[in-house]
Amino acid sequence: MVTTCDSLATTQLGHFQTFVSDISEVRMLDDHLTNSTHPKLLGPPFQRTHCVYIMISMSLFVCVCYRTASYVFCAAYAAVIFLGRFFMRRREKWDLRRPLMFWSLSLALFSICGSIRTGSYMLNTYSSHGFRQTVCDTNFYSAPFSKFWAYAFTLSKVPELGDTVFIVLRKQRLIFLHWYHHITVLLYTWASYKDHVAGGGWFMTMNYSVHALMYSYYTAKAAGIQLPKPCAILITSMQILQMAMGLTVLALVYFWHHEVHCASNMQNIMWGSLMYLSYLLLFSWFFYQTYLKKDKRKGAKAE
């Protein structure tokens, strides 16, 4: 009985380690144990209940730890920003050009590889099953071809917080959009990965692709390479397009929602929509302030 219970608990733990914490699966397993044709192998009812209780406890433990971890990372990030700016208040800015170049290069290479792998999966899904399946697909999180890159994407939202450390230590202007974007992306990405919601393939592929260009641009700038202004305009335009597409995907998930064929939840759709809408407005405003308003001022001075 102990061996059987340990084996079942280990199997269930494997599911929990991929952030799948659906209690209904445990209930189904409980029913399977209760109706089993091998009662001697599984032991008396109270032992079966104990085994299921262990699995439910692990589910709640992993869920709580997961949620706690995402908030802890964000709180630590906010503390680092505040303390870092206080620390640098009366100090000279740090150059850090070379470390920044290698930092950006590593994230650029990671994003390029991720965009190729996830993009290939999405193209294959589209050619095999059509556009609707690219939106509703949830096998993205567990398919052999994409599961590593889905997991790596989720974890990458933590080291990406390091972008802000360079801004603080180099005493550059830290805008609201920057730190707000980092915090909300981390929270939403981890929540979406835990629930394996529909639309995730689009979100990750788009983000990988934009970051592949963005971090390549940052690498070139840190290396002292002068790039034409249209490169920066292109990247911001792609970010705005990404936010508009994110809203579109979430709207489609809402209309096509199905417990099996297009799985998601209203909480994820609601918060995701608010997040993408806020990004769309903030990035559009940034585009106007950075590229359009400045150009108007230059034109007025020239006249």
* Interatomic CA distance for residues 258 and 278, integer angstroms: 27
- Taking residues 171-185, what's their average pLDDT? 95
**What is the per-residue pLDDT for 70?**
87
Phi, psi of 283 (to 5 degrees): -70, -35
Q: How does residue 145 score in pLDDT terms, banded at 50, 70 and 90?
A: confident
**What is the per-residue pLDDT for 41?**
39
For 262, the 3-state DSSP assignment is: strand
Phi, psi of 258 (to 5 degrees): -150, 140
Mean pLDDT, all residues of the chain: 82
Contact 202, 135 (CB under 8 A): yes
Of 158, 163, 168, nearest in space to 189 by CA? 158
Task: Note the pLDDT tens digit of each residue in 41-53.
Answer: 344 444 444 544 4
**What is the per-residue pLDDT for 21?**
42
C-alpha distances out from residue 65 to 19, 98, 116, 234, Å: 10, 36, 32, 39
**What is the per-residue pLDDT for 293?**
82
How many CB atoms lie under 10 A from the CB of residue 23? 12
**What is the per-residue pLDDT for 294?**
62
Please tell me which residue in 15, 178, 181, 258 is annotated as part of the active site.
Answer: 181
Phi, psi of 262 (to 5 degrees): -155, 65
Task: Note the pLDDT tens digit of each residue in 212-268.
Answer: 999 999 999 999 999 999 999 999 999 999 999 999 999 999 999 998 899 999 999
Q: pTM for this one? A: 0.77
Q: In the predicted model, is pLDDT for residue 66 greater than 80? A: no
* Interatomic CA distance for residues 232 and 290, integer angstroms: 10
Query: Which two tokens mark 137?
Result: 């697909």
Place of tokens 């990671």: 110
For 264, the 3-state DSSP assignment is: coil
For 258, the 3-state DSSP assignment is: strand
**What is the per-residue pLDDT for 221?**
95
Q: In the predicted model, is pLDDT for residue 183 greater than 90? A: yes
257 catalytically annotated: no
